[in-house]
């Protein structure tokens, strides 16, 4: 089994975002971390590897800072890590990023399964995984909450997807792209031995040429999304009301009436 | 001179902080009240590599160097200011290393993999009812050879981890007199690996501690306790040297743990003084509040650096042969002298900033004050003993007070 995990670096989840006059986004001096949702993918990949054998490769499209995400995944236990970057990739949207990811996965050649997190905590588009599956022409198994069974001999997989209305069990042939979601597992912490490996390992850098990607399909010119204006959302206004009553039951009754009146419930 | 961290050190600090802040910090009050460290925390520590990481990989350790061990101690102190979890960590990291270095291979195979998995405890037992500072003079525990057995009689007190060892299994490195000749000086004592659980003739006792409630302090009497020869740790009658080596390691890690707990206390204090207002302004804006903060922070940075230097010297010695046991004893004693006392002062000041709330259990600072006092009173050596070591290194051993006591 060759399992690839796509991962991205993001600012720490406690970082505060700000936007300046020119529309530049800043996350202050927040430390960079692996996108927290990707930790579930790395964990699931490690569990699968331990069960079925094989290798786990983590893949990230990004500048040098992307090494933070790769190192974290290696420190968790991933075997290999690849970074793809070219200055031309800066400003890519999910359309362009998924193109680069697909090219990198195709270059690897022998991939059985690609795992992605459900979204990134900074951009929150929820699109990259689906886009990657479409580009590769592989089944897309997004929002997987439970990996029921992987049959490596038969080259097929059964997963349980978390949908708004409930759960759905689906079966798909391999190779496939699987999007994990919170609850699928409990990601492990990085370990001393893993960190030693992560700190000493070489992280190969693949260029656009290496993966055979066309320049016009990456960066802003390869992107479908434009950002005409970026601004800080206006501060939220609202009123707080404290419900006064003798008993907790009475308070609950008043609250329910108010919520019904406002048509919230 | 380089004050930067290597990539491995940076990632390790982040890893330990991540684990400790998520899994330990929210449970410190519970640990203090329930008086034990939950098993899942110990298991988690094992997974991260926080149990006796200084032991070699062949026994389940990580072969961690002392700088890495020190970083972990600091982060655990930051997460658990009651110091229970840090004590578990540092006792095993320091004395596990001594056992790894000097223990017999059969016994190491039996215990170290269990210690690093969190399924056995490893501790140190030198102190006796007659005293802890005069470690040799007070040592009445006798070890005598009887054929293929060592036989022990005596008593050890104020020993960390007695309950843990009895519950989980494990060993305490115990110092015993093995040469009855009073003129043998410090070459009359040997270390032994004593399993408290399941060993006949071991009679445990417990003390009701002031703080660091999550880890037990106890003692045990030894009544004709018999152990196979392979339980000897290190050379016969060289126990004093092995003890000094272990103390240097433990004291360095204590320095780091107290630094971490102090940093956590100061951070807590700074949040408080920025928020709390009196006389129409935040109390942080008063000179009477911010100047002590500036002083304490400066002192803390000094202690922090001297702790790192002690760790660095240990790595110089163990990895590069470029420092001596004397260099290390001096550096570790300075860190151990300063860090717990400073931590105690910082916590007292931070308590003042919190006002009455500090005197309640709503505020964690009281756990810190109770916990850190163990190290400023003297677990792993009292402040005066640290001063004696520092003076010995400065003046030479001709001026050791014990020399005069023994002569008279
Ligand atoms: C919480 C806790 C955990 C402990 N855990 C362990 C453990 O796991 N294993 C273990 O072996 N021990 C342990 N100890 C014991 C510790 O090592 C001793 O408390 C310490 O060595 C001091 O010994 P003592 O308590 O007998 O005090 P004493 O040696 O009686 O000292 C009393 C006072 O006299 C002072 N004093 C002594 N000699 C001199 C001198 N020459 N000049 C000036 N002043 C002097 C000391 O500094 C001290 O202030 C623990 C102690 C505590 C508090």
CA distance B365 to B367: 5
pTM greater than the 0.80 cutoff: yes
Q: Domain for residue A244, yes or no?
A: no
Q: How far is CA B10 from CA A195, B15, B352, in A?
A: 10, 9, 34
Which whole number is the average pLDDT over B224-229? 98
CB contact under 8 A, A191 and B48: yes
- What's the confidence (pLDDT) of residue B407? 47
The answer to whether the CB of B126 falls within 8 A of the CB of B142 is no
The answer to whether the CB of B100 falls within 8 A of the CB of B112 is yes
DSSP-H helix ranges across B276-379: 287-320, 325-354, 365-377
Write out pLDDT tens, residues A79-106: 999 999 999 999 888 999 999 999 999 9
Distance of alpha carbon B14 from the chain centroid: 22
Q: Mean pLDDT across chain A, nearest whole number?
A: 92
CA of B218 to the centre of ligand 1 (A): 14
Q: Which fold has domain B239-399?
A: Butyryl-CoA Dehydrogenase, subunit A; domain 3 (1.20.140)
Which whole number is the average pLDDT over B58-67? 97
State the total domains in chain A: 1
Write out pLDDT tens, residues B324-354: 999 999 999 999 999 999 999 999 999 999 9
The answer to whether the CB of A85 falls within 8 A of the CB of A67 is no
What range does the domain containing A8 cover? 2-222
CATH superfamily of B7-120: Acyl-CoA dehydrogenase/oxidase, N-terminal domain (1.10.540.10)
Q: Domain for residue A253, yes or no?
A: no
Ligand 1 proximity of B401 Cβ (cutoff 6 Å): yes
CA distance A72 to chain B (A): 8
Ligand 1 proximity of B375 Cβ (cutoff 6 Å): no
CATH of the domain at A200: 3.40.50.620
- Kindly give, in sequence order, each residue whose CB lies less than 8 Å from that of residue A54, ignoring residues fewer than 6 positions away: A1, A2, A3, A48, A112
CA distance A36 to chain B (A): 12
Structure tokens at B103: 């223990």
The answer to whether the CB of B206 falls within 8 A of the CB of B216 is yes
CA of B133 to the centre of ligand 1 (A): 5
B86 in reach of chain A (CB within 8 A)? no
- Interface contacts (A, B; CB < 8 Å): 44
Pick the CATH number of B122-233 from 3.30.390.50, 2.40.110.10, 3.30.365.10, 2.60.40.420: 2.40.110.10
Q: Domain for residue A250, yes or no?
A: no
* pLDDT above 90 (res A28): no
Q: Domain for residue A122, yes or no?
A: yes
DSSP-H helix ranges across B61-211: 66-79, 84-102, 105-116, 162-168
Q: How confident is the model at residue B402 (pLDDT cuts 50, 70, 90)?
A: confident
Write out pLDDT tens, residues B239-280: 999 999 999 999 999 999 999 999 999 999 999 999 999 999
Annotated active-site residue B380? The verdict is yes
Write out pLDDT tens, residues A132-174: 999 999 999 999 999 999 999 999 999 999 998 999 999 999 9
Which whole number is the average pLDDT over A108-130? 88
The answer to whether the CB of A13 falls within 8 A of the CB of A121 is yes
CB contact under 8 A, A189 and B6: no
- What's the confidence (pLDDT) of residue B406? 54
Q: How confident is the model at residue B403 (pLDDT cuts 50, 70, 90)?
A: confident
């Amino acid at each position: 089994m060759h399992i690839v995990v796509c991962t991205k670096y993001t600012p720490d989840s406690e970082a505060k975002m700000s936007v300046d006059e020119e529309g530049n986004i800043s996350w202050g001096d927040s430390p960079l971390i692996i996108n927290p949702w990707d930790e579930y993918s790395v964990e699931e990949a490690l569990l699968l590897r331990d069960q079925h054998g094989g290798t786990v490769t983590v893949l990230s499209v990004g500048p040098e800072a992307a090494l933070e995400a790769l190192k974290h995944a290696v420190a968790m236990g991933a075997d290999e890590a690849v970074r793809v970057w070219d200055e031309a990739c800066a400003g890519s949207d999910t359309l362009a990023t998924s193109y680069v990811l697909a090219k990198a996965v195709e270059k690897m050649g022998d991939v059985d399964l690609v795992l992605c997190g459900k979204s990134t905590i900074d951009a929150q588009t929820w699109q990259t995984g689906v886009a990657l599956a479409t580009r590769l022409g592989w089944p897309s198994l997004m929002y997987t909450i439970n990996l029921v069974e992987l049959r490596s001999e038969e080259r097929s997989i059964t997963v349980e997807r978390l949908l708004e209305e409930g759960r759905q069990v689906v079966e798909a042939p391999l190779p496939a792209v699987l999007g994990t979601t919170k609850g699928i597992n409990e990601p492990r912490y990085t370990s001393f031995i893993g960190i030693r490996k992560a700190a000493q390992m070489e992280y190969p850098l693949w260029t656009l040429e290496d993966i055979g990607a066309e320049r016009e399909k990456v960066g802003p010119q390869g992107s479908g999304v434009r950002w005409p204006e970026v601004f800080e959302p206006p501060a939220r206004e609202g009123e707080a009301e404290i419900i006064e009553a003798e008993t907790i039951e009475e308070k609950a009754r008043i609250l329910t009436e108010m919520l019904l009146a406002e048509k919230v419930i | 001179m380089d004050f930067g961290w290597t990539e491995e050190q940076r990632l390790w600090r982040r890893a330990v902080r991540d684990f400790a802040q998520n899994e330990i910090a929210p449970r410190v009050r519970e640990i203090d009240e329930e008086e034990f460290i939950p098993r899942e925390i110990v298991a988690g520590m094992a997974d991260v590599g926080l149990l006796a990481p200084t032991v070699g990989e062949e026994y389940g350790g990580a072969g961690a160097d002392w700088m890495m061990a020190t970083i972990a101690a600091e982060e655990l102190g930051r997460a658990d200011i009651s110091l229970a979890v840090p004590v578990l960590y540092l006792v095993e990291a320091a004395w596990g290393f001594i056992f790894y270095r000097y223990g017999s291979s059969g016994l190491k195979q039996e215990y170290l993999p269990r210690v690093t998995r969190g399924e056995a405890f490893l501790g140190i037992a030198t102190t006796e009812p007659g005293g802890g500072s005069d470690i040799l003079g007070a040592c009445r525990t006798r070890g005598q050879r009887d054929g293929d057995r060592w036989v022990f009689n005596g008593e050890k007190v104020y020993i960390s981890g007695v309950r843990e060892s009895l519950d989980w299994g494990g060993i305490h490195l115990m110092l015993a007199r093995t040469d009855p000749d009073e003129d043998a000086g410090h070459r009359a004592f040997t270390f032994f690996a004593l399993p408290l659980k399941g060993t006949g003739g071991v009679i445990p006792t417990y003390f009701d501690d002031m703080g660091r409630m999550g880890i037990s302090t106890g003692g045990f009497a030894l009544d004709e306790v018999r152990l196979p020869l392979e339980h000897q740790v290190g050379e016969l009658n060289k126990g004093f040297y092995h003890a000094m080596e272990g103390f240097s390691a433990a004291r360095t890690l204590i320095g780091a743990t107290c630094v971490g707990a102090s940093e956590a206390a100061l951070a807590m204090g700074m949040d408080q003084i920025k928020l709390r207002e009196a006389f129409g302004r935040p109390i942080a804006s008063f000179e009477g509040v911010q100047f002590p903060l500036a002083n304490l922070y400066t002192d803390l940075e000094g202690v922090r650096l001297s702790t790192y230097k002690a760790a660095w010297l240990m790595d110089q010695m163990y990895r590069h042969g470029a420092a001596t046991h004397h260099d290390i004893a001096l550096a570790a004693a300075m860190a151990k002298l300063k860090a717990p006392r400073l931590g105690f002062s910082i916590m007292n000041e931070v308590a003042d900033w919190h006002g009455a709330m500090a005197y309640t259990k709503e505020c964690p600072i009281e756990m810190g004050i109770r916990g850190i006092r163990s190290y400023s009173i003297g677990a792993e050596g009292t402040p005066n003993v640290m001063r004696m070591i520092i003076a010995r290194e400065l003046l030479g051993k001709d001026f050791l007070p014990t020399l005069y006591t023994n002569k008279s």
